Structure formats: C-alpha cells, structure tokens
A and B are shown apart, each in its own frame.
Chain A
Amino acid sequence: MQHMLGFSGTIEICLRKAKLPEYFSRFRELNLALSLKEFHATPADIILVQAIRAGEELECSMKQLFSRLREWYGWFAPLDVPLTIESLCLNVKSAIPSSQFAVSDVAEMNALAERLLNISNEVSTHQEYVYSRLGELMPATVAIATPRLAARLLCHTGSLRRLALMSSSTIQLLGAEKALFRHLATGAKSPKYGFLIEHPLVQQSQNKGREARRLAGKIAIAARTDFFRTAPLVERAV
C-alpha cells in the first residue's frame, strides 16, 4: 500500500518542527478518508454474519412467542391446542369470547397471534435472503455443508477467511469447544463433532464420528475454494 500525503521530506520536517496545526489537520483528513475506504472494503461475508445472527434471534423470538401463545390459548381450549404456528393462530383468531375470556382478552390474544404470524413470515423471508447471499459468497461450502450449516459455521468463525484457514480437524469440532476443553482438562471422552451433527450425512450415519471427519475435510476444501476464488491478492498471500 502506498499512500502519498503530498509532503516532500524537507517541508515535512519544517512543518513538523513548527507543529503547524494545518499539517496535522491534513493528516487527520487523509487518514480518516483512507480508514473509511478500508472500512467500507470489509468483505461481505463478515457483514452477512449480522444477518445470520438476526435470523437466529428472529427464530428464537418466534419459538418463544409460539410456546407462550400455546400456553395462553391452552386455558381457553384445553382439548385442542394445535402444534403448528399456522393452525394455532387460526384457532386463536376464531376464538369466541366466553364468561372466562372477555372480548378484550380474546382481542389481545388475537393481536399476539397476528404478530407471531408476521415474525414467522419474517423468519422465512429472512432465511431466503441469508441462504441466497450465502450461495453467492460461498457456493462450494453451501453445496457441501447445506445452507443452514454453512451459516452456522460462518457465524461461529466470524469470516470466510478464518473458516478457510482452519484445519479440517478444527472444523470437525466447531461448536463442541466446551466438550473439547473438558476433554483436554480432565481427560473426559473427546468430542467427535459439533455443529456438523446437523448435517444429514452425519445424522444418518452408523459411524457419526467418521462421517463428521469426512465431512469436515470436504468443508475445509470447499471453504478454501470459496475464499481463494474471491479474496484479493494481498489476502491470499497470508
């Protein structure tokens, strides 16, 4: 990187000796501009982590509100509490006020059902957005790991760069750090997989540890393919 601030040596020394304010305000402006430029060059995968986290938080709110609404509606119709968001909300909306549940009670329960449906929709559209961005940024990893697991891994490592520079044995144990450290500290059984257990291949396998190891190797290669495909030259020279 070569940034010219536009001072020749001798002039610089004079200005510097005099501690001229203009000299430093120029330094400030130019450094500010360069830093902002660098800041805005932050890779998209690092920024996508925020969207992935938002998705996880939306999903978490959805689940919490869903179980709250089931609990609430259960006092209204104990014999018929649906198991899916859609049918629960449908039931809530057709609830008829009774002696125990005033019009205002039912109205409020309705409002919550409405909000829950909105969040549930938001969860789906948000997930579509995240998965399509992931597909653009790390297509190979997504193809091998599934979008959901790819999102988990990116979120956990913080950047595609870090994921790409990890050994496959590290990737195999991402998400199992607690068990790993327990293993190292106390000699307890070593973990065989972390997040990778989410993957259908691992789930269906008789030998989950072996499958996780195999999958981790493939993910490591895929992540490197994705990273080195797009990383700028300087980054590649790490």
Chain B
Amino acid sequence: MSFREEKKSSSDLLMKVGKKDYATRNAVPGIRVYGEKLVSVNGEEYRVWDPHRSKLAAGFANKLLLSLSPNYVVLYLGASTGTTVSHIADLVPKGFVFAIDSAPRVMRELLQLTKQRSNIAPILANASHPTELASRLSMVDFMYQDIASKDQVRIFVECMKLFLEKNGTAILCLKARSIDVTAKPVVVFERAAKELAAEVTVVQQLLLGAYYPDHCLFVCKHSRVH
C-alpha cells in the first residue's frame, strides 16, 4: 500500500501541510512536545513534523515508502527526548509505542511525554543486548532504529529477528560518521546495505538529502523463507 492510499484509509492522521511539510494529528490537543507549530486542518489540530528535527519526517519529504496503520505496535530504538516518538504515537492512536533509550538524561523528557500519552512505554535500557529486552516488549508491526553506535546494524538485525512480526516493516536510520569517520558515506552505506541484505530484505534505501547530509534510511522486511 502506498503512502498516499494509507493517508485516506487511516483517517488522515498524517497530513501534508504547505508544500513539503507533514503534520500529525495531535493526540493531545493544545499540547506541544518540542515547540513545534500547531495548525488546524478541518477543525482538527495537527502538529507540524519538522524534517529538520526528525529523520523520519525528512524521509517522508524524500519519498519514503511507509504506511503505519492506527493500530500498529511500534518499537523505537534510540528514542532520545521523543521528538519523533511523539509523532509516531500520534500515528498509532489505537496502537502502542515501545520507546527505548539508554541515556537517563533524555529519558527525563521521555517520561514527561509518557505522562501525556497513554500509548507510549518508556524503556531506559541499552539496546546492545536485544535478548535482555525481551521481557519488556511484545512483538511489533513496525520498528525504527536511530542510535549512533558502531554495531547498529547488528543490533538492528537482531531486534528485527526477535521482535518484528512476520509481515512487519523496519527502518534503520544510519549515520555514516558513527560507523566510520574516515570512510566516504556512500561506502559506509554500501557496506551496511550488503550486511543487511545478508540477513533481511532491503525494500528501499533512501538518502535524506540536505536535511541530513550523511544519513541514510534502510526500509527492511523479513526475507521470505521458501
């Protein structure tokens, strides 16, 4: 299902506002999460999703093929202060978001966010050892990972195998410099793509353009076993 069709079927939780920007229907009307703009569309309040602040928003601005159903269960690795998490939570009002981060400092903001929204579980934990997370999660329909660690590809693949439903979608957000400072980004991306392809199916590989010059999104699915 293309993103456009999804827009209709999920009763406009994600809207295009203005030329390029997207916005998500605010699950907690009147409340801003990180100083984003609030706009009203057809009498409903939307939070503008700034592509400069969120790589997933930059992905949508760059033709990311992704559709989230309102009842999706989501695993978010590297939740940080919850900028992107908040928009995803807007998109799955009947679903749920497991938001993981290892830094206590950013967890403070995430706890605040959780207080306002009932469909987020904050998890202060290191994702390097995915099996240790098992008792705190359920299986998920969508997984998103944005952590700047050297072994992020391994973590991503392990988490996919452990927590992603058979038909689920997973996105890895890769920052070239956090894998190898000296190599050219294209080289790092190519290497990561190969590493991923050995384990899963990469359905889309997407550069984020001027928003995040040395970042790349990999949209992945489980490989079919015949």
B111 interfacial by beta-carbon distance below 8 Å: yes
The answer to whether A34 touches B136 (Cβ under 8 A) is yes
Q: How many of chain A's residues touch chain B, expressed as a range?
A: 20 to 34
Closest A-chain residue to B125, C-beta based? A38
A84 interfacial by beta-carbon distance below 8 Å: no
- Write out, one digit per residue, whether chain A residues 10-38 have a CB within 8 A of any chain B CB (1) or not (0): 00100010010001110110111011101
* Set B71, B121, B124, B135: member contacting A28, Cβ < 8 A: B121
The answer to whether A31 touches B111 (Cβ under 8 A) is no
The answer to whether A3 touches B111 (Cβ under 8 A) is no
Given contacts A19-B71, A24-B119, A38-B104, contact A5 B124 (CB under 8 A): no
CA distance A2 to B108 in the complex (A): 23
Of residues 35 through 57 on chain A, the ones whose CB sits less than 8 Å from some CB of chain B are 35-36, 38-39, 42, 46
How many B residues face the partner with a CB closer than 8 A? 25
User: Which secondary structure characterizes the binding site on chain A?
Assistant: helix
Stretch of B28-36, B91-99, B168-176, B208-216 that contacts chain A? B91-99
The answer to whether A39 touches B124 (Cβ under 8 A) is yes
Of residues 96 through 123 on chain B, the ones whose CB sits less than 8 Å from some CB of chain A are 96, 98, 104, 107-108, 111, 114, 118-123
CA distance A32 to B135 in the complex (A): 14
The answer to whether A32 touches B138 (Cβ under 8 A) is no
B139 interfacial by beta-carbon distance below 8 Å: yes
CA distance A24 to B96 in the complex (A): 7
CA distance A232 to B129 in the complex (A): 18
The answer to whether A3 touches B135 (Cβ under 8 A) is yes
Give B35 Cβ to nearest chain A Cβ, in Å.
24
CA distance A5 to B138 in the complex (A): 10
Give A11 Cβ to nearest chain B Cβ, in Å.
12
Highest count of chain A CB atoms <10 Å: which of B95, B120, B121: B121
Give B149 Cβ to nearest chain A Cβ, in Å.
14
- Chain A residues with CB under 8 A of B190: none
- Chain A residues with CB under 8 A of B95: 19
B44 interfacial by beta-carbon distance below 8 Å: no
The answer to whether B123 touches A35 (Cβ under 8 A) is yes
- Chain B residues with CB under 8 A of A24: 73, 96, 119, 121, 138
A83 interfacial by beta-carbon distance below 8 Å: no
- Chain A residues with CB under 8 A of B111: 32, 35-36, 39
Closest A-chain residue to B137, C-beta based? A27
Given contacts A24-B96, A24-B119, A27-B96, contact A35 B135 (CB under 8 A): no
User: Interface of B with A (CB < 8 Å)?
Assistant: 71, 73, 94-96, 98, 104, 107-108, 111, 114, 118-125, 132, 135-139
Cβ contacts A to B, 8 pairs, < 8 Å: A31-B98, A34-B136, A35-B107, A35-B111, A35-B122, A38-B104, A39-B104, A39-B107
